[in-house]
Amino acid sequence: MNVASLLSKAYRITNTNSTTFLDGNSTNVLAELNTCYGHRTLDIKNLRVDFNSLIKEVYTDLLSTDGLVAGDLGFNGEYPFDTDTFNPVRFEVSYDGTTWRTCQVYDIAENTSGSEHNEDSIQSIFSESNPFVRFERDSYFIRPLKTTADDVTAGIHIWYEKRQSDLTTGSPDFETNLHDILVYDLAYLERLMHPAKYSNEWRNDFDMERAKMEKRFNEFMKNRFKRNMKMDIDYSDTNISYK
């Protein structure tokens, strides 16, 4: 369902139209729809047992720090997260464009062996064979630094849970058969704004229908990527066993 069809159904359920639904201001109504959409995206994130529902892969160049100064992209190994990042899931880095390593996540307080701003100290602590990454102020910091000349094209690959894009005319980015839950979310806001318009009978029927929608939504989101197989990996000899 696109925005027009979502709103049209919300009007029918509440016996309203574009001038009487909520405050009758189309800009405000769209903003409320996107708020509901954002909340449902958070619900999906919290209900899923698998990252696949919201996962996104991006890549960027691993920049040489040679000649960089404070404020430059890549200085001290710092890069900004994409604006639609919810939670980072996995980082891989290559210092030569050929060999790839998974970065381990650490906290700045865990580095008690040296500096986080002095290049020599950073390089003495961290190794390209075992890279790390930490997070701060919506940025990530790659360790060790790429101090040798020349950037590595697409040398950083990131997987993260992404934030939804606001709707304008298009459709929500989740299961099509569940889009109408947003209709009931909007209709509930209309009910709150104009409570005197709706009888107890209407409220009871609405609540029962919305509860069914909520249950359907939750069950689908919890079970879509449910896995019964457990994979155990022995990294010492790369043997993989399944249970």
Residue range 129-164, pLDDT digits in tens: 999 999 999 999 999 999 999 999 999 999 999 999
Coil, helix or strand for 177?
A: helix
Beta strands in 117-171 (DSSP E): 132-136, 139-143, 152-162
What are the Cα distances from residue 192, in Å, to 19, 32, 182, 196? 17, 13, 15, 9
**Paired sense of beta strands 132-136 and 139-143, if any:** antiparallel
Structure confidence at residue 228 as a pLDDT band (50, 70, 90):
low
* Stretch among 165-174, 185-194, 228-237 having the lowest mean pLDDT: 228-237
> Is residue 97 scored above 60 in pLDDT?
yes
Q: Which of 15, 75, 2 is nearest to 202 (CA)?
A: 15
Q: How far, in Å, CA of 69 to CA of 75, rounded?
A: 6
Query: 117 in the Ramachandran plot: left (φ > 0), alpha (ψ -120 to 50) or beta?
Result: alpha
What is this structure's pTM? 0.79
Q: How far, in Å, CA of 68 to CA of 74, rounded?
A: 8
Q: What is the DSSP letter of 127?
A: B
> Is residue 242 scored above 50 in pLDDT?
no
Strands laid side by side in the 78-80 sheet: 78-80, 139-143, 132-136, 104-105
Q: Where are the domains of the chain?
A: 3-50+165-223, 64-150
Q: What share of the chain is helix, strand, coil (3-state, %, to 5)?
A: 40, 25, 40
CB 187 within 8 A of CB 10: yes
CB 85 within 8 A of CB 73: no
Q: Which of 56, 54, 118, 50 is nearest to 81 (CA)?
A: 56
Question: What value does the mean pLDDT take over residues 212-223?
Answer: 93
